[in-house]
Structure 1
Amino acid sequence: MLPAAARLTSSADFRLVTRGGRRAGRTRLVVHAVAGPADPEADPGSPRVGFVVSKAVGNSVVRHRVSRRLRHLVRDRLGTLPPGSALVVRALPRAAEATSAELGADLDAALRKLRLSSGDES
């Protein structure tokens, strides 16, 4: 589970990140990101993450399974994200058949493309 301080919850925050941020698409997911705080009143020290898993991914059981996998993967990477950043991870229909390792590889590739991984030197 993600800590409460690390969650995007309001539709305004989701809208700000998806419309105003950068985007990196992969086979199974799309990651939208804003490097600075999405909400000016938010704690700039903690990255925040939200998830979008639509009905196109599958029925409720499949959607919740994909959401749990993505939450777990992002939780392990929270420490590598820049302070004050905000992410929205949107699952695509192919995420339904993906393993956690495949979702993790797509997430890592998207974060590298957005240059949000702490290991990037470029």
Structure 2
Amino acid sequence: MTTITRRRDFLAANAGRRAAMSGFVLLMHPRGDGDSGMRVGYTVTKKIGNAVVRNRMKRRLRALARDLLPNGGVAGADHVLIGRAGGVERDFAALRAEFAKALRKVTQQQAKP
């Protein structure tokens, strides 16, 4: 799993499927380039808090992606996690359950035409 770093890849993911949860928003966009590898990106805006809070939220999002994306993610797609204000205070187990639910939601949307 590689990390998305280019702005154009984040913008392309914004055109894909989305699952909004209370702690984060998950965006998933199939690349269609024939590569079966998953890529993941993390975004936390300054509205969430100072650098310490934003970095804490990104660490939590990275841990979620490490745990659940290899089995529940869509191969050949970009996954972007956008942190929300409530994500820092939420229990990690609750965030994990929400992330699993969001993955199911975007994969079900993927299966529908």
TM-score (norm 2): 0.85
| Partner amino acid, structure 1, of 2:8 | A
Residues in 1 aligned to 2:61 and 2:41: alpha-carbon distance in whole angstroms:
10
Residues in 1 aligned to 2:47 and 2:80: alpha-carbon distance in whole angstroms:
17
Q: Quote the offset at 1:22 in angstroms.
A: 0.8
Q: Which residue of the other structure, out of 38, 48, 51, is the alignment partner of 1:57? A: 48
Q: How many residues are matched?
A: 108
Judge conservation of contact 1:47–1:85 (CA < 8 Å) in 2. Answer: yes
Q: Quote the offset at 1:83 in angstroms.
A: 1.5
Deviations 1:37-72 (CA, angstroms, capped at 9, x unpaired): 26x3xx712110101111121111111111011101
Residue matched to 2:94: 102
Judge conservation of contact 1:47–1:86 (CA < 8 Å) in 2. Answer: yes
| Partner amino acid, structure 1, of 2:107 | R
Judge conservation of contact 1:58–1:96 (CA < 8 Å) in 2. Answer: no
Provide structure 1 residue ranges, at least 5 long, that are not aligned to the other structure. Answer: 117-122
Q: Quote the offset at 1:102 in angstroms.
A: 2.0
Identity %: 35
Higher strand share: 2
Q: Which residue of the other structure, out of 19, 31, 37, is the alignment partner of 2:31? A: 37
List structure 1 segments (4+ residues) > 4 angstroms apart after TM superposition.
Answer: none
Residue matched to 2:20: 25
Residue matched to 1:72: 63
Residues in 2 aligned to 1:27 and 1:78: alpha-carbon distance in whole angstroms:
19
Deviations 1:3-51 (CA, angstroms, capped at 9, x unpaired): xx52111000000001x201111111111111x226x3xx712110101
Residue matched to 1:16: 12
Residues in 2 aligned to 1:88 and 1:106: alpha-carbon distance in whole angstroms:
15
Judge conservation of contact 2:21–2:102 (CA < 8 Å) in 1. Answer: yes
Residues in 2 aligned to 1:106 and 1:61: alpha-carbon distance in whole angstroms:
23
TM-score (norm 1): 0.79
SS of the residue aligned with 1:66? helix
